[in-house]
Amino acid sequence: SSYSFESGATLVLERLDNPPGPDLFFSEYIEGSSYNKALEIYNGKDVAVNLAEYSIKGTHNGDADWEYAGFNFPDIELAAGDVYVICDVGAGPEITAIADTLLVYDPNKTMGFNGDDARALFWGEIMLDIIGFTDGDPGNGWDVAGVTDATKDHTLIRKAEVTMGNVDWAASAGTDEATSEWVVLPQNTFGFLGAHPHTDFVAPEIAGVVAVSGTALQVRFTEEVDPVAAAAVANYSIDGGIGNPASVEMVKNNIAVLTIAA
């Protein structure tokens, strides 16, 4: 590139020791049942980043009003390779135990998304990353990786090879698994929250189920499982109209005991 300046003009360049750049980005998006909603950002830099000038803004039903919802991050350092999680105050304990900030719906409305509400990460007024469009209400949600309405009733996790945000949602969402920057997982998948990146999305299989009493089932997995995810009642559904168990207790790294409400 070439540049020309009028005679006498002065060009002032300001050096930034730690330019914010686009290295902070959304690493996880959870739109679960009820109030199980969370957003995770990841610091992909090799140095800590102060979050004071960063914010998340949100629109409503696909509109372009970025003043509708907003959250300003606190004046703290986010370590290199670390994540910051915000969630709805009414989310389940498997989410709130990991979250750094719990938000109520009013006045910021940041957690008030249900599939058709865009959310974007900003540095000052510069958009770094976005989930969703601002050109109209899609109805239920936006498609991601070929999954219809994936921003509703799903968990989205950024692929490990993604190293920066993307303000082009169409490119970020992609049209199939190969072209998308995201992995789409079932509703109420919480086991990946609190860390990034992830490369293994294959869930452990159930090796066997034994009734240990009239109100308890022992579930044995083929491998060790994440204790937080495995202890979440929302991750189990029992046939016969029973639904979720009343409680889950991990007795070994690969064995859980599910208690059924009497």
pLDDT in tens, 230-248: 887 877 878 877 767 889 9
Every domain of the chain with CATH number 2.60.40.1260 lies at: 24-186
Q: What's the pLDDT tens digit per position in 192-236?
A: 999 999 988 766 788 899 999 989 999 998 888 877 778 878 778
Is the bond preceding 227 in cis, omega lying within 30 degrees of 0?
no
Give the N- to C-terminal CA distance of the chain in Å, as an integer: 74
pLDDT in tens, 63-87: 998 989 999 999 999 999 999 999 9
Distance of CA 13 to the CA centre of its chain: 37
Q: Are 36 and 96 in contact (CB under 8 A)?
A: no
Question: Which H or E element spans position 95?
Answer: helix 93-96
Give dist(CA 198, CA 87) in Å, integer.
Answer: 20
Tell me the whole-structure pTM to 2 decimals.
0.74
Pick the range with the lowest mean pLDDT from 30-34, 101-105, 187-191, 200-204.
Answer: 200-204
Domain 24-186: CATH superfamily is: Lamin Tail domain (2.60.40.1260)
Close Cβ partners of 169 (under 8 Å, ≥ 6 residues apart):
118, 130, 131, 132, 133, 142
- Per-residue pLDDT tens for 139-168? 999 999 999 999 999 999 999 999 999 999
Amino acid in the structure at residue 69: A
